[in-house]
Structure 1
Amino acid sequence: MSDHSEAPVTPVGPYEPPYYAAVFTTVRTPDQSDYSETNARMEELVKDVPGFLGMDHAQTPGGLGITVGYFRDAEALAQWRSNTEHRAAQKRGRADWYESYTLHVAKVERSHGFTRTRVPRSPTAG
């Protein structure tokens, strides 16, 4: 199974501020039993939180993982934080999957984006 999907890689787009970003940075342990399944379940669950805006992920070759979740308001973030299945996954993460982690929650006051426009090449261009 490949780590690369066929879908194009795009970050979560900008939203009208203010909104919140929860930045979860991790270093995982060698034991990743059931991690993929639980992670997939959490990604599905968070989508049901009213006010959830999206999520970005990145993983370095050295093992540093970063997940940024975006939420419309503090209430949406609090609802996600208190979700029963999410709380159970957090407990399992501390027990088995994470060597260390940090969580930073920030109020976004400015947001903008850029996407390069792709211009089709002429068949006669050299």
Structure 2
Amino acid sequence: MGIFTNTYDLPYYAVIFASERTEGEKGYGIMAAKMVELASKQKGFLGVESARDTQLGITISYWKTLDDITAWKENAVHQIAQERGKKEWYSRFGLRVCKVERDYFFEV
């Protein structure tokens, strides 16, 4: 697998999380790695892609169903990370849930 996650049976869902960080690490990197590891063990998880520069971070997680996304949102450990994010790590963030009906990947 390269930079992009694999493509999956259509349709599937993408959760797009965009964020601006506060100053300082405050355990963010460790928790982010834990969340990817935990999410990867959840029912319906397909993959994740993430990028961050000095101002903006975007993480896209892919799921089989909306129910799988809801279960992940309600995961107790994930809820702890969400609360820490609101209090310590993010100055702004937004979340979008999208249904993927087509996808295309090309190599040149």
Task: Name the TM-score, length of structure 1 as normaliser.
Answer: 0.80
Cα deviation code 1:19-50 (max 9, x no counterpart) = 10000000000032111111111011001111
Match of 1:15 in 2: 8
- Matching residue of 1:27: 20
Partner of 1:3: none
Structure richer in helix, relative to its length: 2
Q: Which residue matches 1:49?
A: 42
Cα separation, 1, equivalents of 2:2 and 2:90: 26
* SS at 1:67 equivalent: strand
1:98 maps onto 2:86 in alignment: no
Kept in 2, the 8 Å contact 1:32–1:96? The answer is no
Structure 1 outlier segments of 4+, above 2 Å: none
- 1:40 aligned partner: 33
Q: Which residue identity lines up with residue 21 of structure 2 in the other structure?
A: R
- Cross-structure match for 1:107: 99
Which sections of structure 1, spanning at least 5 residues, go unmatched? Answer: 1-7, 117-126
Q: Judging by fraction of residues, say which structure has more strand.
A: 2
Tell me how large the CA RMSD over aligned residues is: 1.3
Q: Which amino acid counterpart does residue 10 of structure 2 have in structure 1?
A: P
User: Structure 1 vs Structure 2: percent identity of aligned residues?
Assistant: 36
Letter in 2 for 1:37: I
Partner of 1:64: 56
Find 1:77's aligned residue among 56, 69, 73.
69
Deviation of the 1:75 alpha carbon = 1.5
